[in-house]
Amino acid sequence: MPVQLNLFERIALLRLGKGPGPMADLMGVLAFKAVMTALRLGLFDAIGRDAKTIDQITSATGTDRAGLGLLIGALESLGYVRIRRNKIRNTFMTQNWLLHDSPSNISAMFDQFNDISARWEYLDESMRHGRPPRLGYEWLDQDQKRWDAYHAGLKSAAMMLSPEILKRIRIPRTAEHLLDLGGSHGQYSIEFCKRYPRLTGVVYDWPSASRIAMENILSTGLSGRISFMAGDFLKDELPDGQDIILMFNTIRIFDPVILKTILVKICRSLNHGGLLVIMDHIGKASPSRFMKANAYFVLLELFNSTEGRIYTHAEIADFLDQSGFSRTRYHAINHSPGLGIITATKP
């Protein structure tokens, strides 16, 4: 977790300016790298859910004892591990979010954010010219490992968001065919098909997503109901006869002209009474400083990697109306302020 200041330090550094408050952000950079190092070494998994000695962890990770001791000390100060009577134990936070045997594991997001931070080296250039010097997919195309980290990070986010999304959305009882546009890892298709046994799904994305999507689908035993289709929905027609189309974290990539063209194509692909489900940042403000910062970091990343922008609920509703949809509805996502869901029906 971020470097924590005690009450005296918060008052002295942040309110009274008695010392350099920005030091907390400088230390935050190193804190992130310390956790990245621990994940790459498999340190948290080596500790697991029981207390271990440093010698046991050193043996399991194949590391230098002295260096590992320093890293563990840093991780204790950050709240990732506890040290009691010369035994090291993962905190509940670490066990819940960073162990690979945890269903809520988000460790893949660290690799994704490490890549994002690398791209932010040219964020100032994007600011000066009003567009990024290279688009996100162009940067990712330089190394398949970057794509793998990107898709794995998105999957972690999908696993966190899916329970609330499924609570908000009610699909038609007769729905059988789901198309997940830009579905990447396929996790959303997996979650919908788990909830609705009648559904079959198709994850539609660029070929770079095929391996991680199919591995994910196979691991859930749903390969008989969910498949992967490689394509480019900007250029290609979509398969018709769809009852539900998901468009998650996608509309923000496109400018208004292209987005409206895609929505018309989606409407053609849906059966009458079919449902389009859009999830994206809808421009809603959050009263939480943490979530407000999170939203602005996402917006900066989009500015630095795409040619699109964030659309308001009213703008999206207008685009949907122009594209032939009706019964547009907005659903807030409480666990991630800034994100919202918009549903629309083909008459």
Task: Give strand pairing partners of 226.
Answer: 201
232-245 confidence digits (pLDDT tens): 988 888 999 999 99
Q: What mean pLDDT comes out for the span 193-202? A: 94
Q: What is the pLDDT of residue 234?
A: 85
Q: What is the pLDDT of residue 11?
A: 66
Distance between CA atoms of 183 and 214, rounded to whole angstroms? 11
What are the angstrom distances between the C-alpha of 249 and each of 71, 75, 241, 269, 279?
A: 36, 33, 23, 20, 6
Domain with CATH 3.40.50.150 in the chain: 108-345
Domain with CATH 1.10.10.10 in the chain: 7-97
The tokens for 158 are: 């999908």
- Inter-residue contact 316 to 285 (CB < 8 Å): no
pTM score, two decimals?
0.84
- CATH superfamily for 108-345 is Vaccinia Virus protein VP39 (3.40.50.150)
Listed in sequence order, the residues at least 6 apart from 176 whose beta carbon sits closer than 8 Å to its beta carbon are 198, 199, 200, 243
What are the angstrom distances between the C-alpha of 252 and each of 8, 14, 40, 203, 279?
A: 42, 35, 32, 19, 10
Q: How many helices (H) and strands (E) does the chain have?
A: 15, 9
Distance between CA atoms of 341 and 330, rounded to whole angstroms? 6
pLDDT at 17 over 80: no
Q: What is the pLDDT of residue 334?
A: 75
Q: What is the pLDDT of residue 337?
A: 64
The tokens for 314 are: 């009213």
Lowest-pLDDT choice from 91-95, 238-242, 310-314? 310-314
- H/E run at residue 276: strand 270-281
Q: What mean pLDDT comes out for the span 28-36? A: 94
Q: What is the pLDDT of residue 192?
A: 95
Identify the architecture of domain 7-97 in CATH.
Orthogonal Bundle (1.10)
pLDDT at 16 over 80: no
Lowest-pLDDT choice from 84-88, 132-136, 333-337? 333-337
Would you place residue 101 in the very low, low, confident or very high pLDDT band (cuts 50, 70, 90)? very high
256-304 confidence digits (pLDDT tens): 899 999 999 999 999 999 999 999 887 666 667 777 787 788 889 888 9
Alpha carbon 148 to its chain centroid, in Å, reads: 13
- H/E run at residue 246: strand 242-248
Lowest-pLDDT choice from 67-81, 163-177, 226-240, 324-338? 324-338
163-182 confidence digits (pLDDT tens): 989 988 888 888 999 999 99
